[in-house]
């Protein structure tokens, strides 16, 4: 094979391993941080508010915004290479047709490329965005590596995964402009925890398809610990969590002073319906091919729930991202119809 063909084949296998439908998970989570930052800018400029709002100085420039979005939407795929590399043992059972398992993608070269890209993201953040933003960037990378081990210890895998995705929102908020990060407000902490919950729940559903391989490899995920029968019932019950948790935080803690506009309520109801439907799908099909194809709805419900949050700060953008996420996640997922890959 000619060198050019080898490079092309390698890049094609690398992009395939990135599973780009996942990019909306990190991308939309990150956009929450961007929109929240712009929301604070608007409040500060419009009302001359003091306190934490006064620490946010100016709107994000277009070049900076583009760089943030590129890093966010690529971060999942680039980090997915590390996950595949660390999970080769169980993937030989769960997904024998994945490029690293089949020999289509050289594992060490793929990890090297991901490392180079992540270093590039670090230097871009340090020199062109905001230096403080490298903290959640490095934290997210570290948690991604740690996650591969944590997923074998029950619910800890879901917790670590959720926190890892929430660092995208923290990264984008800090990268958007100058702000005081000496103390996170209770409002910001609860927002990050809510993003963690949404994504921790999303990854819980992904464990159904890997049940046999994880069990054989000794990975005691929450599904393996509970067993399929209990996990079926648990999956439907947990689908109510995003709605119930939001209501508890909003009305119980009373630290979120965002107005529940009409667009948010409509998108929130639609996202809740998607969450409940996802729980039902995995209740109905805890194993088999339909378990794999149910993942498309799982990722859509997660991303669409995140876009509903965006509509709190920017209703028009929330609607647009809801539609884009729903359509493109399904579109990109269709390129990965092989249940063994």
Q: Tell me the average pLDDT across 249-275.
A: 94
Chain segment 183-208, per-residue pLDDT in tens: 578 888 999 999 999 999 999 999 99
- Could you list the beta-strand ranges (E) of 126-240: 153-154, 220-221
Which pLDDT band holds residue 54 (cuts at 50, 70, 90)? Answer: very low
User: Using 50, 70 and 90 to split pLDDT, how confident is the model at 48?
Assistant: very low
Whose tokens are 């647009």? That residue is: 320
Helix (H) or strand (E) holding 40, with range, is helix 23-47
Q: Is residue 53 very low, low, confident or very high in pLDDT (cuts 50, 70, 90)? A: very low
Q: What is the mean pLDDT of residues 5-23?
A: 89
Tens digits of per-residue pLDDT, 62-90?
A: 899 999 999 999 998 898 899 889 888 88
What does the chain come to in residues?
Answer: 341
Mean pLDDT, the chain, integer: 89
Q: Please give the Cα distance from 261 to 264 (Å, whole number).
A: 5
pLDDT at 88: 86
Burial of 2 by CB count in 10 Å (0-12 exposed, 13-18 middle, 19+ buried)?
exposed
Q: From the DSSP assignment, how many helices (H) and strands (E) are in the chain?
A: 17, 2
Could you report the per-residue pLDDT of 83-110, keeping only the tens digit for each? 889 888 888 887 888 899 988 999 999 9
Would you state the pLDDT for residue 27? 94
Q: How far is CA 157 from CA 41, 86, 145, 149, 196, in A?
A: 35, 14, 11, 8, 12
Quote the pLDDT of residue 81.
92
**Which whole number is the average pLDDT over 268-280?**
97
Strands 153-154 and 220-221: parallel
Domain boundaries, the chain: 18-336
**Backbone phi, then psi, for 258, in 5-degree steps?**
-75, 140
Distance separating alpha carbons of residues 110 and 53, to the nearest angstrom: 42
pLDDT in the model for residue 179: 67
Is the Cβ–Cβ distance between 28 and 310 less than 8 Å?
yes
Band of residue 43 on the pLDDT scale cut at 50, 70, 90: confident
What local confidence, expressed as pLDDT, does residue 4 receive?
63
SS3 153: strand
At 45 the three-state DSSP class reads helix
pLDDT value of position 338: 78
Q: What is the mean pLDDT of residues 42-48?
A: 65
The contacts of residue 271 (CB under 8 Å, 6+ apart) are: 242, 301, 304, 305, 307, 308, 322
What's the CA gap between 178 and 56, in Å, rounded?
A: 6
Nearest to residue 164, comparing CAs of 194, 148, 141, 131?
141
* Percentage, residues of the chain above pLDDT 90: 65
Task: Give per-residue burial for 14-53: e unless 16+ CB within 10 Å, then b.
Answer: bebbbbbbbbbbbbbbbbbbbbbbbbbbeebeeeeeeebb
Contact (Cβ atoms closer than 8 angstroms) between residue 341 and residue 95: yes
pTM, rounded to two decimals: 0.91
pLDDT band at 289 (very low <50, low <70, confident <90, very high): confident
Phi and psi of 154, rounded to 5°? 65, -135
């Amino acid at each position: 094979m000619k060198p050019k063909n080898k490079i092309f084949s390698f890049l094609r296998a690398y992009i395939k391993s990135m599973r780009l439908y996942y990019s909306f998970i990190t991308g939309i989570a990150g956009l929450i941080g961007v929109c929240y930052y712009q929301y604070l800018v608007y409040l500060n400029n419009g009302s001359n508010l003091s306190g934490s709002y006064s620490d946010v100085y100016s709107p994000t420039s277009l070049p900076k915004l583009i760089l943030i979005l590129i890093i966010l939407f690529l971060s999942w795929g680039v980090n997915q290479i590390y996950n595949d590399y660390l999970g080769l043992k169980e993937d030989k059972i769960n997904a024998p047709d994945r490029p690293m398992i089949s020999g289509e993608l050289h594992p060490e070269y793929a990890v090297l490329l991901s490392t180079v890209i992540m270093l590039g993201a670090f230097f871009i953040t340090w020199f062109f965005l905001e230096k403080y933003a490298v903290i959640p960037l490095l934290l997210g990378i570290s948690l991604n590596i740690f996650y591969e081990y944590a997923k074998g210890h029950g619910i800890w895998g879901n917790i670590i995964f959720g926190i890892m995705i929430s660092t995208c929102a923290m990264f984008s908020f800090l990268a958007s402009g100058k702000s005081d990060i000496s103390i996170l407000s209770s409002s910001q902490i609860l927002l990050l925890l809510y993003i963690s919950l949404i994504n921790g729940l999303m990854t819980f559903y992904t464990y159904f398809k890997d049940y046999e391989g994880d069990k054989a490899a000794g990975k005691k995920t929450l599904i393996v610990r509970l067993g399929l029968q209990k996990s079926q019932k648990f999956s439907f019950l947990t689908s109510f969590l995003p709605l119930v948790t939001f209501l508890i935080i909003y009305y119980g803690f009373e630290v979120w002073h965002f107005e529940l506009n009409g667009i948010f309520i409509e998108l929130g109801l639609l996202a809740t319906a998607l969450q409940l439907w996802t729980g039902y799908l995995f209740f109905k099909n805890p194993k088999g091919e339909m378990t794999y194809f149910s993942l498309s709805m799982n990722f859509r419900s997660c991303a669409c729930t995140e876009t509903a949050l965006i509509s709190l700060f920017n209703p028009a953008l929330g609607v647009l991202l809801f539609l884009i996420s729903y359509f493109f996640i399904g579109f990109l997922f269709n390129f990965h119809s092989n249940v063994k890959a």
